[in-house]
Amino acid sequence: MTIIQHNENDSRGIFYMKEADKKIAELTYSIKENVMTIDHTEVNRDQEGKGLGTQLVTKSYEFAKENDRKIDPLCPFAEVLFDKNESWSDVRI
């Protein structure tokens, strides 16, 4: 399993996965007043279908929950996963 890494500054954040020093999947978000707006989820074409995007969105949900944040799933992929997982409504705006 590939480890999900995370970086964040005052206004932006990213969850990502690397394989052999190459980024293979990423989820980016902006931060404003404790709200993480997921704006982009992307998986390299040769890695599609392995559930990496789902793992990233799940990790962002867990991170928001642990850090008392809310999520606005602006990215269509993230929005579909939030719609499917009703239990995630506790962090959804």
What is the per-residue pLDDT across 7-31, written as a single tens digit (0 to 9) for each?
999 999 999 999 999 999 999 999 9
DSSP secondary structure string for all residues of 22-80: EEEEEEEEEEETTEEEEEEEEE-GGGTTSSHHHHHHHHHHHHHHHTT-EEEE-SHHHHH
Q: What is the pLDDT of the chain when averaged over all its residues? A: 97
Mean pLDDT of 30-59: 97
Structural domain including 80 reads 4-90
Mean pLDDT of 77-88: 98
CATH value at residue 53: 3.40.630.30
Total domains present in the chain: 1
Residue 2 pLDDT more than 90?
no
Residue 29 β-bridge partners: 13, 38
